[in-house]
Each structure stands twice: as C-alpha cells, then as structure tokens.
Structure 1
C-alpha cells in the first residue's frame, strides 16, 4: 500500500509486548522478541482507538476510543474489566500513575480517575479553552497541553493551578517531565525544556526542528524527539547539541523508550531500535539493530479482508459487489429462477461513460467520502436487478425525464407571460407584444421587432 496508517497508536512499557491499535477498533499485541502477533486479540470498542497504555507488569491495558469511552482490559484473557465514561469529546491522550488515571479530550477537559473504584474525581476540575492533546501525571503533579499552545501545571492534592506556560506558537502535542525537568514539543517545531520549580522562570533550553514534533522523552540528560521530518533526534540537555539523527522511512507518530530499547511508531511501520552508547566516546550513539515489526496498512488490510470474508452461501439478496460508489451504473441478470446454475447467470453493466472503469450505483443517500476501511463496501446499498425490475427502473427514469421537460416548458411560458405583462404596463398596444419570439424595439423605428 502506498499510504500509511497515520491513526496508529502504540503502547510499550519495556516488557515483552507491544500493543498496537488503530481505526479497525482492534488492539493487537506483538512479541518484541520475534516480532510476531501474540494473543489475545482485544475487541470491544465501537469506535477507532485514539490512545492506549500498556502496563504489562500489572497485566493491564487501557484504551480510549473515538466513541468517548475508556476501557481497561485483562492482558491474559482479553476481557474488559472496567468502562469509564464522562468525556463529551474524542479522547486524545491517557497517562497513569499507580491507581490514578488521567485523560484529556476534545471537550477541553482533563479528568482524573481512580482505577480501583472506576470513579472520576469530580473535585479535580482541570480545564482548557481548546482541545487537550497531551496529559502527564505523577504523585502530586499533573501537566496538560492544549491546541492553543498552553501548558498548564496542576497540583492534584489541592486541586489548583500552579503555573501556565505560554511559549509555543501552536498546539503542544507531546509532554514529558520528571523530578526536575519538563519537556514540551509542539507543532511549531520547538522542544522547550523547563524546570518543575515554579519559582524558576524562563525556558532552560530550546531545540529546533524543521517540522512538527510528535514525541519527546528525556533519558540520562539526553533529549529524544520524534519529528514529522522522518527523523529521530537525540540532543544533549546540557549543551543543546544534536548528538545523533536516526533516519526513518516516513513521518514519526510517537516514540516509546525503555533502557536501551526504543519503539518508533511511524506512519508506514513500527520499528524496534536498540541504541548503544560507545564507552570510549561518551555521548556518541549508534543504532545497533532495527527490526520492522509491522507493515502498516498492507498488514492491516490483509487482516481486514480475512475478518470480512464471507462465511455463508451467496444468495440473490446478499451478493456484495466490490466497487466505488460514485458513477451510476445499473445491473441486470437473467435466469434468476436458476441461480444455482452459475454457468447460466450473467451480469451486464450499463455505464454512462463507456470505456472507463465500472463503478456501481448507490441506491440510497450518496456517500460523502470513500471509507478505505470498508473494503467490500458493506455500508452502501447495492442491488442486483432482474429484467422486470430494470424495465420498471427505466420507466421511472422516463417519467422523471418527462416531468423535468414539462417543468422547463412551464417555466418558459411563465417567463414569456411576465415579459408580455411588463410590456403591457408600459402602454404598448397589444400588437406590439404578440409577435412570436420577438421583442418590440420602438427606439429602432416604428413597428420594429428584434
């Protein structure tokens, strides 16, 4: 496939599994050691997967969906153990610390949940004036960023706002913080370093990128960023110098690091990269191995075709026709009473533009766009017409055409009557405006028509 999956989300906690979710509403687990798909296959969301967290040590997977719900799953059985509802907009981000889960959504709200009881802390009312893109939580500190470029620092114990960072010129898509530092990356191509001490004002360091930054993390005073320019950048937090650039094949969506392992989620694939620091040259990094774990849309489409394979005999009322619902085309068939004799059944396409690819008619409301995930076009209403049905269809079309012609004639007559009336109220004689298909022009001479 030429186009990758820009909606893929990945979860990795440093264990043996990597969780991958996307618009197919299914979360798949991949074994890091052999890059093969592991069980179970997790299903249950009614909408596409927009965010997920993998807590392998706790046997827990947390996912957020387009249909406004958050679900907790058992990694061993694949069963849903808890459903959290409360957001009124699409959930964009998740983070967890101990038994506290935090979520941010397009409803401009940040909600904090108790995983032990499944209840939301209603006293923690954290809000933005635009969609929330990233949230991070620790024992007492919570960070959230929004579409207007603001980063807010909250105290979860006293439920108060500590500081607002207003330095980015556009949406802040990624955050990271530890005991001493805060890292923020935005669509303006800037990654900024801040201090967690609210008394320390100003930016500590700024790292420039040519395009939007989608992921940032800090490890051993090394800033690792993922940019849509298809590169992973490794900077020194002390000097600001770029230590290493790792080239990928497509724009980067997210980066997940643990020890010397790094999972790079790109638009075309998911890569497992091992980074080693040379002992003789401190600060120098090189890529040891790079393993492609998934093939993005090709594998997704193959799984989709497999899942949507027909598991029942075909009938005259349940034949799926593969096509593009744009150009009108009508089908007819003969010998319908002998459908079991496949050699006597045929189909004929009547297209308005012969010589082009056959595209099937949509008997119903037209689709606003072609859904690439609906490979067999199950969401549109195709119909296989018999000869009698085709005649009836042609008769209805003829009636519609005659009606349109009659309406056009009536419109022309009304237009002529209005023109005659305007000439009459000007005081012209009846002979002046009864000339067929002509208009009286007295300025050109007596009894002159054009």
Structure 2
C-alpha cells in the first residue's frame, strides 16, 4: 500500500476543509471534518460506527453526543449546503451543466422516525414509508461530477409540494453558483409550474418533455408527439452504454425544429430536439441552447441529457456503498444534516480526489479492477474509489482513551 498516495489523499481532504471551515464555527468545522472522515473510512451513515472511525480522547457515547449537538441544530443542514457550494463554486465554469433530479429513500421498517411519508420507490415502483429527496449535481465539460445539494423533504415538516422544492433548490443553487450554466431536468419536472419557471428564467436549459406537452409551432398549439412527426431525423448520434462489463453502442436518429412557448402573453423562442432509437420510442428535449446552428444544438442537447444516467448511478452508489437507507437518526433536522455531510463526503470522492482517481486504481495496492482492462478506468469508477479510500484511511490511530484505560488496567493487575 502506498504511504505517499495515502498522504496525498489526506492532503486533498484537508484542502477541501480549509475552504469549508471559513463558513463554520471551529466546533462545527471539527465535527463536520470528523464525521466526513468517519463516513469515508467506515462506509456508513450510522453515527455510532462513524464515531468509531475517528481519533478522539473521550468515550464513544460522549463523541456521538457531541455530534448530535451539532447535527440536530435548526437549519444546520442549509448552513452546510451553502458552505459546501461556496467551497466548490470555483470549479464550476461557464458552459458547464447542473442537473436537478428527484429521488427517494425507503425506510420500510422504521415506522417511528420523524417525518416519514408514503413515497414511491423509484427502483421497484411500489409505495412505502420513506422520504422524498431532491438532488442537484454539477457536471463539467470534462464530465467531472460534483454533488452540490441533496435535501430530504417531508410533507409533515413544511414541504408544500414537489414543485416548491424544485423551485427552492433552483433558487439556492442559482444564488451561489452565479454562472452561465445549462440546467438539465428529466420529464418528472415537466409540469406547468416548473416548466414555466425554467423557461421564464431566461437561462440555458434542457428539459425532457412528456408526449402530451403542448408547444407553439407555426402559430398553432400542438402536442410534441404531433410536432415530432414534422421533424426530419437527418442526423445520427451514438451513445455508449456499458452493461455487465460489455459495451453497447446505441444509435439515435436526431432532428430539431424551432418552436415557441407562451408564458403570460410573452413568447419564448426555443428548440425542440427529437431523438429516436432504432426499434425504440421517441425522446423530446425542449432546450434553450448556447449554440446557433441546428447541428450544434442537437449535439449539445444530446450530450447534456446523456448525463442523466450518471445521477441514477450516483443514487445507487450512496445507497449501496454507504447504506443510506439504513440511516438511524430520530430528528428530521438531524436526518437532513446527515445527508448534507454525506454530500460533502461524496464531493470529496467525486471531485476533490478526481486528479488521483487513476493512480488510486493502479497504485493503491487494493485490487478493484476485475479484468485489468482500460475501460475499467473510464466507467463509473466511484464504487472502486470508495473501496480504496476505506482501505487507505483504515490505518488511523485507534481511540486513545480506550488504549489508556487498557494500559491502566494492565498496570493495576
């Protein structure tokens, strides 16, 4: 195992916290640093296990109590998110992408947790107890990914509607990340309130539409599935998907046409990009693009929406590698704060350590490459990176108070 590489990982983590600590008090900064390191080291969001993964001179129960005193503070999670976004905003450049997506956390057996609601399991399509989740993730032009904002919401704790949560997330992110970026939304956001807000905002965006959504085409209001029949699919683009370690080339026929959308009497000029896979259905992307030519508009929309699958992998990653759905915190404020701390830990994995990813895979001494092929260095590597970081951070000093007690017992005997 490379001690030099371990030291470089620790330095990268420290540099992130140097930026974040300016947004927090010293006790808060210490708590967040320790909890984040504990999550990275133990691979869990269970507070007792996180506490065992840090060096402390007090008992385990006192450590967890100290953590609780911070993460249960009112609105502490928003303080963390704002501090986090201020810490990473220098990485976000004009022309980058920010993706907004809704998800869920299932808590099938935790019937006494605060704020539980009936939510739809996005993986199984069933309804069960849990929490709604709003995710915001940044993608650079080089496809580097940075989690920005993950907020739990419950209708028992002030949430009015999913629409309001989407608009609040856009407002929070936009107030701090004041850059000319392209925002990306799946068709779950294709509702009149959200759609009107996105379009009226005048920024570049990419919104997948439902087939019944109506737009203005040549002065006539028509559903997009009717408009798409008039769009020539003159261009072919290829997307690469990897399933079960095998590459699949998916070819899409694409076209685009200028349309309009009316909000309070004002017409907005937009593009409708239409894609269709061989033997597959249509996909409709409404976009305001920074590009001018029809070919560049299609390529830009195709590239932007291609980031959509990565956020699905991100959801699976935090649920499987960090056992997000096992979270056990009594208060709703504490749950939100823990999710904010997990977001910080994931930002370190995905972004702060990005320059070390290849070296971690090849030089750490931890076997994570199944076939040692080049494509394993380019795919969704973050499961492997999480495993490597757990191993590298495992060689931390044990809990000092426990060792001192053992020493005293041995001396007395």
Give the TM-score normalised by structure 2: 0.26
Q: Whose strand fraction is larger, Structure 1's or Structure 2's?
A: 1
Which structure has the bigger radius of gyration?
1
Report the TM-score, using the length of structure 1 for normalisation: 0.24
